[in-house]
């Protein structure tokens, strides 16, 4: 097992191995497989489908789902990444952050079905920002949302179309997802923390 490669999350006050594991690698793999099938079923095939991962951990998740779908369909699925830093409504209450990469498939998103992929759905503000960003990038035929974990506590009228796991949480709890691509292992943990956190 390799060491975590990504930069440590600055909001993480507790150590990375504190709290309890709610999804392990197998659970995550099963959840992603189910989401992949749901997306295919909902879209009636893989035609005109784009999986757009939200930076940062939505990006590897989108790639994994795309791989699973192409295993079933036998054709490559277009993926991309979307960074919503510039569109966040809390941009002014944080120190300026360097935006991550936004990369669209070569033919853009016009007329396509875009599935936004994110790790944890919480307040819904990231998704609102993503919808704003999408409207500056083109006009998709439809936009759907797939998340690995829905932890509740929505602050906006936003819901996911495909959910890997509904995880009832308290606001004081922290949901932390780690992925092989960014952190060296696959797991979702819940940590109890008296400090509030952003996600």
Partner 1 sequence: MTRHLLSIDDVSAAEIHELFETAAEMHDVQRREVKKLPALRGRTVINLFFEDSTRTRSSFEIAGKWLSADVINLSAKGSSTSKGESLRDTVLTVTAMGIDGLVMRHSASGAAHQVAQWLDIPVINAGDGMHEHPTQALLDGYTLTRRLGTLEGKHVAIVGDLTHSRVFRSNIKSLAKLGARVTVVAPPTLMPSGVGDWSNEAGFATCYDLDAVLPEVDAVMMLRVQKERMSGGYFPTAREYTVGYGLTRPRLALLKPGTPILHPGPMNRGLEIAADAADAADSLILDQVSAGVAVRMAVLYHLLAGEEALA
Q: Which residues of 18-43 are buried (b: 16+ CB within 10 A; e: fewer)?
A: ebeebbeeebbeebbbebbebbbeeb
Interacting positions 98-157 with partner 1 (CB under 8 A): 98-102, 132, 135-138
Q: In terms of CB distance, is 36 or 81 closer to partner 1?
A: 81
Q: Which residues of 169-181 are buried (b: 16+ CB within 10 A; e: fewer)?
A: beeebbbbbbbbb
- Considering only 8, 92, 106, 194, the residue that binds partner 1 (CB under 8 A) is 92
Q: In terms of CB distance, is 36 or 126 closer to partner 1?
A: 126
Q: In terms of CB distance, is 44 or 92 closer to partner 1?
A: 92
Q: In terms of CB distance, is 7 or 17 closer to partner 1?
A: 7
Residue 97 sits in the site that holds partner 1 (CB under 8 A):
yes
Are 109 and 50 in contact, with CB atoms under 8 Å apart? yes
Residue 27 sits in the site that holds partner 1 (CB under 8 A):
no
How far apart CA 87 and CA 65 sit, in angstroms, is 25
Q: In terms of CB distance, is 91 or 170 closer to partner 1?
A: 91
* Alpha carbon of residue 122 to chain centroid: 11
Residues belonging to the chain: 199
Mark the segment that binds partner 1 (CB under 8 A) among 8-16, 44-52, 68-76, 80-88: 80-88
Residue 56 sits in the site that holds partner 1 (CB under 8 A):
no
How far apart CA 25 and CA 83 sit, in angstroms, is 26
Using CB under 8 A, list all residues that contact partner 1.
Answer: 83, 86-87, 91-102, 132, 135-138
């Amino acid at each position: 097992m390799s060491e975590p490669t990504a930069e440590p999350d600055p909001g993480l006050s507790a150590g990375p191995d504190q709290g309890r594991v709610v999804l392990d690698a197998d659970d995550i793999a099963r959840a992603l497989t189910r989401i992949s099938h749901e997306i295919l079923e909902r879209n009636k095939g893989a035609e005109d489908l784009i999986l757009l991962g939200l930076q940062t951990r939505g990006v590897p998740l989108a790639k994994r789902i795309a791989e699973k779908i192409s295993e079933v369909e036998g054709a490559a699925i277009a993926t991309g990444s979307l960074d919503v830093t510039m569109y966040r409504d809390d941009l002014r209450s944080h120190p300026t952050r360097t935006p991550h990469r936004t990369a669209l498939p070569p033919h853009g998103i016009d007329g396509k079905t875009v599935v936004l992929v994110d790790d944890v759905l919480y307040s819904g503000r990231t998704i609102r920002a993503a919808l704003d960003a999408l409207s500056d990038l083109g006009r998709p035929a439809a936009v759907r949302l797939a998340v690995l974990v829905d932890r509740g506590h929505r602050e906006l009228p936003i819901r996911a179309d495909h959910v890997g796991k509904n995880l009832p949480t308290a606001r004081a709890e922290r949901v932390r997802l780690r992925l092989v691509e960014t952190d060296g292992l696959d797991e979702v943990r819940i940590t109890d923390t008296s400090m509030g956190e952003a996600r």
